[in-house]
Amino acid sequence: MVKNILITGGAGYIGSHTAEILIQNNKKVFIVDDLSTGFKMLVNNKAKFYKVNILNDEKIKEIIIKNNIDSIIHLAAVLSVGESEKNPKKYNKINVTGTIKLLKAIKNTSAKNIIFSSTCAVYKDGFSRVNEKTKLGPTSVYGKTKLKCERLIKTFCLKNRINYGILRYFNVAGASKSGKIGQINKGDQLFKNLSLEIKKKNPLFKIYGSNYKTKDGTCVRDYIHVSDISDIHYKILLKIDKNNNSKILNCGYGKGVSVNDVIKEFSKYANKNLKIKNFPKRKGDMVKVISDNKRLKKFINWKPKYNTLGKIVRTSLNWEKNLKKYEKL
């Protein structure tokens, strides 16, 4: 039975939302985060927080043993496709070496389940809709590090009889309906950057690549609301624990949305016109990637709650309003 759950990177965007859902379902949550990209204000006050770097396997092992941890949700990572191309050493150190250190910490402990946050960036570009059997071939350093981690986890778990759930996220966006948690970090995140830009008097947004072979020339992605992805973590964790098995699953809505589609939706809800400035394509960006989520739906009888672009945009904008209030406190 799942009782005590450790979330690495639990003070981050997805980690904080996952903690919220676990706590709502009466699970004991323990968070490990060094706050290099996470934020203490996102840590649920009902969770036990440890400020620890993912590379500190001895301390993490101590935490696992002390709290009788039965399940790990491994989210600690660096995530920017663009940055990964400029700084591959950083991505290999935190993502790959960090995962190796975590697995070392788990060995010979009470932990029997691990959920890993992978990405659709592990797939080869050129397949518009991908299922879990689609050819792998990451175009970015970020995607390559995540694929390495997948393989490390599978090998380790098979050898040590630990259940795993490898979740290939598509593009996570939005914020909790509560308005109390959301995304703080900027970077490659389209919804975050639009939420910030749209508040300005004369908003101007940069598009990287306007001549892709898509319906409007911009990249196409499959966006999934952060609360739905967090709920998936919880449901898959329960399922692999109950069935004593392991799965690799795509996590998306199965809907393709272009960058221009997202911009139009933001303009509509904010009631503002957004000027566009086009820039060259970024190295590592995929043209179009949409999930085939049949396996996910079948495995946990999944029914998403926030699967419209409008809901993702509204919660993103609401979070930015609330974040401004929190920053004044």
| Cα(236)–Cα(130) distance, integer angstroms | 20
CA neighbours closer than 13 Å in the CB half-sphere of residue 144: 13
Domains and CATH numbers, the chain: 4-173+222-251 (3.40.50.720)
- 208's enclosing H/E stretch is strand 204-208
| pLDDT score recorded for residue 199 | 86
Which tokens in the block code for residue 35? 């706050």
Q: Which of 71, 130, 153 is nearest to 293 (CA)?
A: 130
Q: What is the mean pLDDT of each run of 10 residues along the chain (329 residues)?
A: 97 97 98 96 96 98 98 96 93 98 98 98 92 96 97 98 98 93 84 90 90 94 97 98 98 97 93 89 89 97 96 94 66
Side-chain-side CA neighbours of 86 within 13 Å: the count stands at 7
| pLDDT at residue 282, as a whole number | 85
Please say whether the beta carbons of 87 and 129 come within 8 A: no
Token code pair at residue 1: 């039975």
Beta bridge partners of 171: 223
Helix (H, G, I), strand (E, B) or coil at 163: strand
Q: Return the pLDDT at 325.
A: 63
- 123 an active-site residue? no
Please tell me which residue in 142, 164, 234, 306 is annotated as part of the active site. 142
Give me the pLDDT at residue 329, please.
40
Do 132 and 293 touch, CB atoms closer than 8 A?
no
CB atoms within 10 A of CB 24: 12
- What is the predicted pLDDT for the residue at 272? 87
Which residue(s) pair with 247 in the sheet? 165
